[in-house]
Structure 1
Amino acid sequence: MSETFVVVGGDAAGMSAASKARREDPDLDVVVFEKGDWVSYAACGMPYYVKGDVDSLDDLVQVTPDEFRTERDIDLRTNHEVVGIDPEARTVTVAADDDRFEQPYDQLLVATGARAIEPPFDGMGLEGVFTIHDMDEADAIHTHVTESHPETAAIVGGGYVGIEMAEALASRGLDVHLFEMLPHVLQPFGESVAEVVEDHLRDRGVELHLDTPVEGFGGEDNVTAVDLESGTVPADIVVVGVGVEPNAELAADAGIEVGETGAIATDEYGRTNYETVFAAGDCAEATNVVTGEPDHVPLALTANRSGRAIGQTVTGTPTPVGGTAGTAIVKAFDLGAARTGILDESRAREAGFDPVSVEITAPTRAHYYPGAEELTVTLVADRDSERVLGASVVGREGVKRIDTVATALHSGLTVPDVEQLDLAYAPPFSPVWDPVATAARVLSGSLERPE
């Protein structure tokens, strides 16, 4: 009799695991329960659907439910919600169509993802107030903009989603106000990146309200204003993007251990405190490659990679899920910003490092080649070990250079190692000294101790 691998959640981690397990072991019964309609979709593309760069929500779907069922032979059941897990009996309780049933498993993956944080603001239930973390929410915003024709938008939160939605709605012709309770947007990217992005947002017509907590939203049935301590700002549509939190309650209720981050605790193979239960994606912790400690960084590649690894592990080839450096990149109109590792010096000190940093600005191409733009690079390292700890970059082109530093973090490279990397050079693509190598060269001087 074949074994059964049950997956709870049908997005990046869940479907990557199911697909890999099916390829590795054609005799394995693979059952996926997804409580909604959508599976295997590109959540990162939703702001661009709202903007109009993506024609249809269906364009964001990588593999359709029918393709999973017919081409990959996966027993995918949409609109089936797992409401309970019994790790001792190795069963899950599933609710669907006003019915409940028990599904046995031999191995289980919890891939329940994360949800948008909904602050306890007055007026969150008003028409025209949205969060954006799933396809239905993206569709609702798109429909509201298209059919209700709002004129003024309020974005609450200056993180990735806030910046991308500010661009999306401004590009649709709305007057956009962005509210951030901290002194700067993109807090994990560092102050120098934030200031460049803020100036660019203002140049593109976005009105920033920094260091400005929101108290709620006004209106009777439809939202009409954002309420602040200092007064109100008119708004016909509000998008709240203040972060996400892991959907870990299902696991916690079953006695599956949840870490200090609030996400499900796992080992290097994605296994929980139960031998036959795994967790991956936005609901699970991962190991930070800089600190070596558990971290919760909900990003698409982390979810896909960990799901694929677990799909191999459950079919007999133990495969580590890999660590996270928190590498991220965001587009703000004509500007790009990216970060990886630890940039905050206080956090670096808490992790036991003695941080040293430099900030340089260098051209993205040879100075004489047309189209060169300035790229600002901040590089952080530990003084004692000279190990690279993190970096940020901001500019109109070349921000994918952050991947060089991410590679250095995963490899444990030092600043001199990065300085000596044999990076590609041709005038249309880079100066002789790539901006990342230039930053490493400058930082090497700062790391030198006097005799």
Structure 2
Amino acid sequence: MTDTFVIVGGDAAGMAAASKARREDSDLEIVVFEKGEWVSYGACGLPYYVKGEIQSLEALVSVTPEEFREERDIDLRTGHEVVAIDPDDRTVTAVRDGDEVVQSYDHLLLATGAESIVPPIDGVDLEGVYTLGSMSDGKELREYVARARDSEDLQQADRGPACRYLEDCTGPVGVVGGGYIGIEMAEALAANGFEVHLFQRSDRVLTGFSEATSEAVADHLRDREVVVHLGSEVRELADDGDGTVEAVVTAADRVPVEAALIGTGVRPRTGLAEDAGIELGPTGAIAADAYRETNVPDVYAAGDCAEATHVVTGESTYVPLALTANRHGRAVGQTVTGTPTEGGGVAGTAAVKAFDVEAARTGILDRDEAREAGFDPVSETITAKSRAGYYPDGGDVTVTLTADRDSGRVLGASLVSEYGEGAVHRSHAVVGALEASATVFELENYDLAYAPPFNTTWDPVLVAAKVLGGELR
């Protein structure tokens, strides 16, 4: 009798595990339960679908359900919500249209992902208030944008409740949250002619980046006529009396809006695991060892529902990003088919585009976080040319590099440049340094490629390492 590998969740981690397990073992029975109808899709592309740069939701799908079933011989059951796990009997219970299915397993992967955080403020359930955590969310937002763009072609019956007068449906719109989703959606909406107000509770956007990066992004948003409200905690989304949002209310202001997007981050979906006695870690996500196995034997966790180990601190962290989900899912697929494989650590590497600016970050940048991990952080910020000075159309790259004062070990970096001038790709050199526990003096001597169209002889990352190394010598 062959083993059965059951997976809860059909996106990045779940389908990476299923696909790898199938490649490794053609006889393994693989059953995937997915609550929705979409699987293996690029949620990170949703802001660009809303903006209109990507024309269809289907374009965001890497592999269709039919391809998984017919070409990869995976028993993918969409529209099935798993409601219980019994580790003693080694079963999961799923429900579809009121019908219950009990499925036994030999190996179980929880890949339940994350959900949008909806802050506890009045008005979040009003008409015209959106989140962007799923394909259906993206569809709703795209339709809202389309109503504004195609006003001449629509009849009154097609007009949504958040936009009674279509000719006025280009704003204002409120975006709550100055992180990745908030900034990307501010661009998407502004590019479609909306008057965009971005509300951020803290005193800068992109709080996980350096101050220099955050300021550069905020300044560019303002240049593109996004109204940036810093230090503005939203206290209420006001009702117009008919159940539709009409204003974003902060301690200092009341800004009229026709719609609002909540982009205040995500949290792991852990309810199913908790009910089954599967332990959570200090971050609130599911705890797992190096092989992604939980405290319950043969039950694994990967993707946005689970913790990972930070390569700098060696401690548990929660970094819900696509590459981590794919990598950890793939490792589980190898492990359950007989080749124990570690999922690997994370550096918290991330990137964001804001109109004509790109930014990246990796490692530990927050001074308090670095000190809690036992480091004495020192940072330097430099601005250097992205290409040889004589080469046309170059720009600047600003790099903030952080290292430990005593050891010189590189702790993290934040980079920002004009779009296409290489801030994101340059961050990869720093990731290599973090993975190798390299010192800033070693990073200074990295043999990075040089040609005038791509960088200067001394790449901006090397310049930052030299300057910071000089501070530490």
**Alpha-carbon displacement from aligned partner over 1:277-308 (angstroms, at most 9, x marks no partner):** 00000000000000000100000000000000
2:198 to 156, 169, 178: 178
Task: Find the residue that maps to 1:301 and give its secondary structure.
Answer: helix
Query: In the alignment, what sits opposite 1:326?
Result: 348
> How many angstroms apart in 2 are the aligned matches of 1:140 and 1:394?
32
Q: CA deviation at 1:446?
A: 0.8
Q: CA deviation at 1:388?
A: 0.5
2:261 to 239, 252, 272: 239
Q: CA deviation at 1:105?
A: 0.1
1:404 to 429, 451, 455: 429
Query: In the alignment, what sits opposite 2:378?
Result: 356
**Alpha-carbon displacement from aligned partner over 1:61-103 (angstroms, at most 9, x marks no partner):** 0000001000110000000011001111110011112111210
Q: CA deviation at 1:260?
A: 1.1
> How many angstroms apart in 2 are the aligned matches of 1:309 and 1:410?
18
Query: In the alignment, what sits opposite 1:119?
Result: 119
> How many angstroms apart in 2 are the aligned matches of 1:104 and 1:152?
52
Query: In the alignment, what sits opposite 1:213?
Result: 233
1:217 is matched by which residue type in structure 2? L
> How many angstroms apart in 1 are the aligned matches of 2:183 and 2:126?
23
> How many angstroms apart in 2 are the aligned matches of 1:86 and 1:223?
43
Work out whether 1:130 is the aligned partner of 2:130.
yes
2:10 is matched by which residue type in structure 1? G
> How many angstroms apart in 1 are the aligned matches of 2:211 and 2:252?
25
Work out whether 1:24 is the aligned partner of 2:3.
no
Work out whether 1:65 is the aligned partner of 2:65.
yes
1:183 is matched by which residue type in structure 2? D
2:366 to 344, 363, 378: 344
Work out whether 1:195 is the aligned partner of 2:215.
yes
Query: In the alignment, what sits opposite 1:425?
Result: 450
> How many angstroms apart in 2 are the aligned matches of 1:328 and 1:33?
29
**Alpha-carbon displacement from aligned partner over 1:224-282 (angstroms, at most 9, x marks no partner):** 11122234101111100001000011001100010110100000000000120000000
Q: CA deviation at 1:145?
A: 1.9
> How many angstroms apart in 2 are the aligned matches of 1:440 and 1:227?
44
Task: Find the residue that maps to 2:346 and give its secondary structure.
Answer: coil
> How many angstroms apart in 2 are the aligned matches of 1:61 and 1:111?
18
1:346 is matched by which residue type in structure 2? D
Task: Find the residue that maps to 2:358 and give its secondary structure.
Answer: strand
**Alpha-carbon displacement from aligned partner over 1:135-165 (angstroms, at most 9, x marks no partner):** 0001011112212452211000000000000
1:215 is matched by which residue type in structure 2? R
Query: In the alignment, what sits opposite 2:92?
Result: 92
> How many angstroms apart in 1 are the aligned matches of 2:433 and 2:8?
34
> How many angstroms apart in 2 are the aligned matches of 1:100 and 1:395?
53
> How many angstroms apart in 1 are the aligned matches of 2:220 and 2:29?
52
Q: Which moved more, 1:108-117 or 1:215-224?
A: 215-224
Q: Which moved more, 1:180-189 or 1:226-235?
A: 226-235
2:186 to 166, 169, 190: 166
Query: In the alignment, what sits opposite 1:4?
Result: 4
Q: CA deviation at 1:223?
A: 1.4
Q: CA deviation at 1:167?
A: 0.1
Query: In the alignment, what sits opposite 1:296?
Result: 318
> How many angstroms apart in 2 are the aligned matches of 1:93 and 1:254?
12
Query: In the alignment, what sits opposite 1:204?
Result: 224
Task: Find the residue that maps to 2:15 and give its secondary structure.
Answer: helix
**Alpha-carbon displacement from aligned partner over 1:14-69 (angstroms, at most 9, x marks no partner):** 00000000110000000000000110000000000000000001100000000100
Q: Count matched residues.
A: 448
> How many angstroms apart in 2 are the aligned matches of 1:354 and 1:227?
40
Query: In the alignment, what sits opposite 2:395?
Result: 373
For structure 1, the 5+ residue unaligned runs are: none
1:383 to 397, 402, 405: 405
Q: CA deviation at 1:134?
A: 0.6
For structure 2, the 5+ residue unaligned runs are: 148-162
> How many angstroms apart in 1 are the aligned matches of 2:202 and 2:132?
21
1:181 is matched by which residue type in structure 2? R
2:444 is matched by which residue type in structure 1? E
2:422 is matched by which residue type in structure 1? G
Task: Find the residue that maps to 1:281 and give its secondary structure.
Answer: coil
> How many angstroms apart in 1 are the aligned matches of 2:68 and 2:304?
22
1:434 to 448, 452, 459: 459
1:29 is matched by which residue type in structure 2? E
> How many angstroms apart in 1 are the aligned matches of 2:397 and 2:219?
15
Task: Find the residue that maps to 2:32 and give its secondary structure.
Answer: strand
**Alpha-carbon displacement from aligned partner over 1:307-357 (angstroms, at most 9, x marks no partner):** 001100000001100111000000000000100000111111111001111
> How many angstroms apart in 2 are the aligned matches of 1:363 and 1:239?
37
2:310 is matched by which residue type in structure 1? N
Q: CA deviation at 1:126?
A: 1.2
> How many angstroms apart in 2 are the aligned matches of 1:385 and 1:6?
46
> How many angstroms apart in 1 are the aligned matches of 2:333 and 2:317?
22
1:405 is matched by which residue type in structure 2? V
Query: In the alignment, what sits opposite 1:252?
Result: 274
> How many angstroms apart in 2 are the aligned matches of 1:44 and 1:101?
32
Quote the RMSD (CA, aligned, Å).
0.8
Work out whether 1:80 is the aligned partner of 2:80.
yes
Q: CA deviation at 1:104?
A: 0.2
Q: Which moved more, 1:228-237 or 1:373-382?
A: 228-237
4+ runs deviating over 4 angstroms: none
Q: CA deviation at 1:390?
A: 0.1
**Alpha-carbon displacement from aligned partner over 1:402-430 (angstroms, at most 9, x marks no partner):** 11101111111111111111110011101
Query: In the alignment, what sits opposite 1:415?
Result: 440
> How many angstroms apart in 1 are the aligned matches of 2:471 and 2:79?
57
